[in-house]
């Protein structure tokens, strides 16, 4: 790894960016209004266009187009989608990250633990 006061390489940029993205999911409302969903959908779409690792960005844009990964705004009375609330969006983000992990030959993360990693801290209390 480079000294921490050097411009980031793809790895350092990725680690910082996943920290931001998972933390955004961790602080997303447990039940999001259509406006909050629309804003998050725009943020992710724009993020996928401006992320300054161009191969990463291109692959992420393709990932966002897959029918099962598409972010849609869903009104409360019409059921729940990936943007309906924190648990759905956090899981969506975890799966998006795992997609990159698999591509890079890294271990998949157990998505049942995303909230301990990024929101509450681990059950053993080491983050308290």
Nearest approach in angstroms of CB 77 to ligand FAD is: 31
Residues 6+ apart with CB under 8 A from 8: 2, 16
Q: Taking CB under 6 A as the rule, does residue 119 contact ligand FAD? A: no
Site string for ligand FAD, 59-78 (x = CB under 6 A): xx------------------
Residues 6+ apart with CB under 8 A from 24: 43
**Pick from 18, 39, 86, 116: which binds ligand FAD (CB under 6 A)?**
18
Residue that is written with structure tokens 């960005």 in the block: 57
Count Cα neighbours of 17 within 13 Å in the Cβ-side half-sphere.
Answer: 20
End-to-end CA distance of the chain: 28
Q: Taking CB under 6 A as the rule, does residue 22 contact ligand FAD? A: yes
**Pick from 40, 71, 83, 94: which binds ligand FAD (CB under 6 A)?**
94
- C-alpha–C-alpha distance, residues 64 and 57, integer Å: 10
Size of the site for ligand FAD (CB under 6 A): 22
Between 10-26 and 86-103, two packed helices, what is the crossing angle to 10 degrees?
Answer: 160
CB 90 within 8 A of CB 115: yes
Residue sitting closest to ligand FAD (CB): 14
Q: Please, which residue, 1 or 35, has the CB nearer to ligand FAD? A: 1
Q: Which residues bind ligand FAD (CB under 6 A)?
A: 10-11, 14-15, 17-18, 22, 51, 55-56, 59-60, 94, 97-98, 100-101, 104, 106, 109, 114, 117
């Amino acid at each position: 790894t480079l000294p921490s006061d050097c411009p980031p390489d793809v790895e350092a940029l990725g680690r910082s960016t996943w920290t931001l993205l998972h933390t955004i999911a961790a602080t997303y409302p447990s039940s999001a209004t259509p406006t909050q969903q629309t804003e998050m959908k725009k943020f992710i779409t724009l993020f996928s266009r401006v992320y300054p690792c161009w191969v990463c960005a291109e692959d992420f844009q393709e990932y966002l187009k897959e029918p099962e990964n598409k972010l849609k705004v869903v009104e409360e009375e019409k059921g729940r989608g990936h943007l309906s609330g924190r648990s759905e969006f956090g899981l969506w983000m975890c799966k998006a990250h795992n997609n990159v992990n698999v591509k890079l030959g890294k271990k998949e993360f157990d998505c049942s633990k995303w909230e301990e990693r990024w929101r509450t801290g681990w059950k053993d209390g080491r983050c308290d």
